[in-house]
A = this chain, B = another copy of it.
Amino acid sequence: MKKLLIQLDTDKHPSTFDRIVAYDAGVDEVLSYSNIVVGDVKGLAQSAFFTRGLNDLKNTAIWVGGSDVTQGEQVLAEAQASFFGPFRVSLMLDSNGCNTTAATAIAKLKKDHALTGKKAVVLGLGAVGLRAAALLLQEGCHVTAASIRRVLAGVTAGGAAAGGEPASGNAVRSAPSKSVENARRISGLQVEEAGDRAEMEALMEGAEIAVCSGPANAQVLPKAFWAAHPTLKMLVDFNAAEPLGIEGIKASDDMKEREGKLILGPLGIGNTKMKVHKACIAKLFESNDQIFDVQRVYEVAGEMV
């Protein structure tokens, strides 16, 4: 019986990335759907349950993707709500790569280092950054997540990194952004909005961990700042588009020592993230009752780093 992955993508076109990686992870057929809205989910999910006997349902799974994580989370919730009794299939959410990317990065930090009690600062409130923040909290860190939109306004012409917080101009200064609202929902997280570079740097006082989750093509941390920082020990950068978020590192840095700090660059994360992504897809087909959200992906990442 073929392993079928139903790709529910909230974008105009289903992600080529998600389709290709699914095939490379051993899926036999990807059934791709695009322009998915919440109202579409119940029908598509329930029509899928009723085709195969209960013992065979583990050969069908649902993947939720697209560039908008909030929409993805709504689609995931609706798919879960469509289950009844044993009629269900395993699910995974990775809109914008958020779960696999954040989980892999924090699993790498944790691998050889105790995180408990350390101060961590996440710069940028995009989906990947917020997921990283939540995992750091869970590891016992004291975590500050800072909006850096005002800091970067003018620095970059726009364009968001995968999951990164978009840069923006003056127009958004008045009301708290959607990103800030999302951040404030994470229990235990200290959320700040840095008004300028000085405020941002002040937030990093005493921090041992910095996670750069800014927009694509925007340098967030100049080398002069981070290399001289008295307490920083580990720096993570999710931005793979030059210029990187952290000046003076290489995208391929994989816990590489530079200036006495350990650097985890976007490709250093990315290579392992691909393995985690594929491992999660393979595991989806082991039973029909799994939910691969950030927690479950983090467990898998922890076994693989």
Contact = CB atoms under 8 A, between A and B. Distances in A.
Interface of A: 1-2, 4, 6, 12-13, 15-17, 19-21, 23-24, 28-33, 36, 40, 43-45, 47-48, 50-52, 60, 270, 274
Contacts of A2: 23-24
Contact of A20 (B4, B17, B21): B4
A251 to B, nearest CB: 12
Interface of A is mostly: mixed
A-B CB proximity, top 7 nearest:
A17-B47, A16-B48, A20-B51, A16-B47, A16-B44, A2-B23, A21-B51
Given A1-B24, A4-B23, A17 B51 contact: yes
Nearest to A270: B50
A17 B52 contact: no
A28 to B, nearest CB: 8
Given A23-B29, A24-B1, A29-B23, A48 B13 contact: no
Given A1-B24, A12-B40, A50 B17 contact: yes
Nearest to A8: B13
A6 to B, nearest CB: 6
B13 A44 contact: yes
Contacts of A17: 47-48, 50-51
Contacts of A24: 1-2, 51-52
A169 B51 CA distance: 33
**Which of A2, A6, A16, A36 has most B Cβ within 10 Å?**
A16
A201 B265 CA distance: 69
Nearest to A47: B17
